[in-house]
Each structure stands twice: as structure tokens, then as C-alpha cells.
Amino acid sequence: MNGPSTKHPYWRQHWLGLMLVVGVLLAVPFVAALGGQAWVRIANFAILYVFLALGLNIVVGYAGLLDLGYVAFYAVGAYCYALLASPHFGIHLPFWVILPCGAALACLFGVLLGAPTLKLRGDYLAIVTLGFGEIIRIFMNNLNAPINITNGAQGITLIDPVRIGDFSFARTSTVFGIAISGPQKYYFLLVALAALVIVVNIRLQNSRIGRAWQAIREDEVAAKACGINTRNIKLLAFAMGASFGGIAGGVFAAMQGFVSPESFSLMESITILAMVVLGGMGHIPGVILGAILLTGLPEALRYGIEPLQKAVFGRMIIDPESLRMLVFGLALVLVMRFRPAGLWPSSLRRRELAEATD
């Protein structure tokens, strides 16, 4: 965890692993492209969700605040990018200005949500955050009159792609003799951003703040008694989680070139929460695994369910698309049944669980 200059146990112990990870990450978009550009796009969304899940992990996993409206911050970030880089208002700011703006705005919304809900616990908080998510979505959907701000349900089109000078992320271009498609470029941007959020997550986990969150998660009253300013620390969790959501939203808007309220439904919040819990709450590798699995599984089923059904039954019995979601739901149930603490829980959690069942 410490800087590499003083003592580097982390780097020394893990340099091989790290190199391997970097190598794999670099190879992914090119290997995926062999299976079609669609897989690159799926990989992009997987990383976007890694990003979102890690953001939510701060709120749910670290601070233990059940947030069912996380998508609101994602929406705020996306709309912030859309409004500041599209013909809708005729403003075209570069992405490195807008992304921080989106993060800041989402952060503000995080505090706005956090402030009135500080007193609430557990499931009461869940419903209020859920309501907050719906409120944001409904406003996005209806703020086209009397003043047209969000263009309502019609959404905002022709959003600028990420562009550095003349290097646009929307087109294929050749770098060092290798053709890199638009989705592949976004892949590298996303990986860079995800690396950032992972580093922040790791640093937070073992910091003073991280331990304060953990204290609140385990026992708020005791945490307060220990002199932790629970109000500020909780607000900080909301604000940090929200900022990551805001950045993710901005990248989403740039990648899609279009935003509309239907992308920010309650189902989306639930999916992100499922990623966090399924992977292993509060444990970074687990959350990453959860996000990748839950994005990849439905898409893999899209490709695989038809041949699978033919192989098992010899013919198509059920529409592949109905079966796809059915299998997805069953997978959620089964994973939770056999890995109640998530697929890859932290060792601490595992110990706690073992004690509880004794």
C-alpha cells in the first residue's frame, strides 16, 4: 500500500501478478475483437459496471448504507455530459472539463440525498434512496416543459464523443500500424478510469475514513461513542460513491452518443447492487468479479442459449430470450444459496459468517 520508494512489499510480492493483469488487460480488446466487435462493447460495459459497482461498494460495502437509488448519480453524470457536449444547448466542452463537472454535480446530489436521510437506518434508507432514484428519473423525463432542459422522454442526441485534439473516440484509427476501433479506444479509457477508482478504493479501505465507515457499518452507536463524526463520515460515503457514479454516467453518455431517461430505471440500480452483493460486498476483487459476471452472463447466454437448448433437447422448446432471463434469475438465486457471502468475499467477512453459523 505504501509508496514504492520507501519499502515495496506490495510491488515485490505481486509484481508478477500485476504484470500479468496489465498484460491481460491490454490484450482483452484485441482478443475480444476476434469474436466480433460486439464483445469489445460488452467488455466496455463490463468495465463501466465495474466502475459503478465499486462506487456503490463505498456506500453499501464500506459504510453499510443500503442504497437502492444509485442510478440517480449515474443519470446526473450522464445528463451533465449530454447537456454540455451536444447541440441541445449548442455547448461543446471537452470531456476533461465535463467529467469533473459531472462528478462534482453528482457529489452535490449525493450530499443532497444524504442530508435528510442521515437518521434513517437499513431498509428505511433503502426505500428513500429508491424514491430518490425515481424522482431524478421522473424529473429527467418531464423537464421538457415549461423550459426544455432535458428534452424529456425524447432524450438528447448527437452527444460528442470523447475527443483529444483530432483523435476522436468514435472512429477507427490506426496507431503504430494497428487499427483500433472506437469501442477499443473507449476500452482503454475505461480501464484507466477503473484503475483510478480501484486505487481510490484500496486506499480508502485502509485509511482512517475507511475504518470509520467500517465502524459505522458494524455499530453506529458504538462508532459515535468512539468519537467518530458519523454525520460527516456518512455524507462523505454518499458523496464519494455519487462522484464515481457521475463519472461513469459521463463516459456512458459519450460512448452511447445518446441519453434518455429509460437508461436510468430502478432495475439498473438493482443490477448494480446485485453485482456488489453477488461478488462479495466490501471486497474489491469480489465486486469486480460480480460486475464482470453479471454484465457478461446475459450476453454470453444470448450467444449460447440457442446451441445449448438444441444440444440438450434437440430442438427449440422455449424462446431463447425468455429462457435467457430465466437462467439469469436462477443464477442469482443459486449463487446466493451456495455462496451467501458472495462469490469472492473478503477473508474477514468469511470469518464473521463462519462464526455466525456456529
Partner 1 sequence: MDTLLQQLINGLTLGAVYALVALGYTMVYGIIGLINFAHGEVVMIGTMVAFTVIVSLAGSGMPPLLILGIGLLVAVVACMVLGWGLERVAYRPLRHAPRLTPLITAIGMSIVLQNIAMIIWGRNYITFPPMIDKQIYEFAGASFTNVQVAIVVLAALVMIGLTYLVQRTRMGMAMRATAQNQHVALLMGVDIDRVIAMAFIIGSALGALAGCMVGSYYEIAHYQMGFMLGLKAFTAAVLGGIGNMAGAMAGGLLLGIIEALGAGYIGDLTGNFLGSHYQDIFAFMVLIVVLMFRPSGLFGERTGDRA
Partner 2 sequence: MKQAHIPGVLMVLAASVAMIGCGKKEEPKAAAPAPAPAAAPAPAPKPEMVVKIGHVAPLTGPIAHLGKDNENGARLAVDDANAKKLEIDGKIVKFELLGEDDQADPKTGTVVAQKLVDAKVAGVVGHLNSGTTIPASAIYNQAGLPQISPSATNPKYTQQGFNTTFRVMANDIQQGSVVGTYAVKDMGAKKVAIIDDRTAYGQGLADEVEKAAKAAGANIVAREFTTDKATDFKAILTKIKAKNPDVIFLGGMDAIGGPMLKQIKELGIKAKFTTGDGGCSPELIKLAGAASEGVICTQAGLPVDKLPNGQKFVEDFTKKYGQIQIYSPYSYDAVMVLVDAMKRANSVDPVKYLPEVGKASYDGVTGKVEFDEKGDIKNGAITVFEIKDGKLVTLKSEGGTAPAAPAAAPEAKK
Of 1, 17, 119, 347, the one binding partner 1 by CB under 8 A: 119
Report residue 321 as a C-alpha cell.
430470450
Q: Is 331 in the site for partner 1 (CB under 8 A)?
A: yes
Binding mask 248-287 for partner 1 (x = CB under 8 A): ------------------x---x--xx--xx--x------
Q: Is 126 in the site for partner 1 (CB under 8 A)?
A: yes
DSSP E strand stretches across 214-352: none
Of 123, 218, 219, 319, the one binding partner 2 by CB under 8 A: 319
Q: Is 332 in the site for partner 2 (CB under 8 A)?
A: no
Binding mask 27-46 for partner 2 (x = CB under 8 A): ---------xxx-xxx--x-
CB of 67 to partner 2, least distance (A): 21
Residue number with CB closer to partner 1 (64 or 250): 64
123 Cβ partners below 8 Å, 6+ apart?
Answer: 66
289 contacts which partner out of partner 1, partner 2, none, CB within 5 to 8 A by kind?
none
Give the total of residues touching partner 2 (CB under 8 A).
Answer: 35
Contact 49, 71 (CB under 8 A): no
Q: Is 52 in the site for partner 2 (CB under 8 A)?
A: no
Radius of gyration for the chain, computed over Cα atoms and rounded to the nearest angstrom: 21
Q: What are the φ/ψ torsions at residue 250 (nearest 5 degrees)?
A: -60, -45
Report residue 77 as a C-alpha cell.
453524470
CA distance 1 to 207: 11
Binding mask 262-301 for partner 2 (x = CB under 8 A): xx-----------------------------------x--
CA distance 223 to 118: 15
* Residue entry with cell 520508494: 5
131 contacts which partner out of partner 1, partner 2, none, CB within 5 to 8 A by kind?
partner 1
Q: How many CB atoms lie within 10 A of CB 69?
A: 24
CA distance 108 to 101: 11
CA distance 67 to 213: 15
Of 123, 218, 219, 321, the one binding partner 2 by CB under 8 A: 321
CB of 267 to partner 2, least distance (A): 9
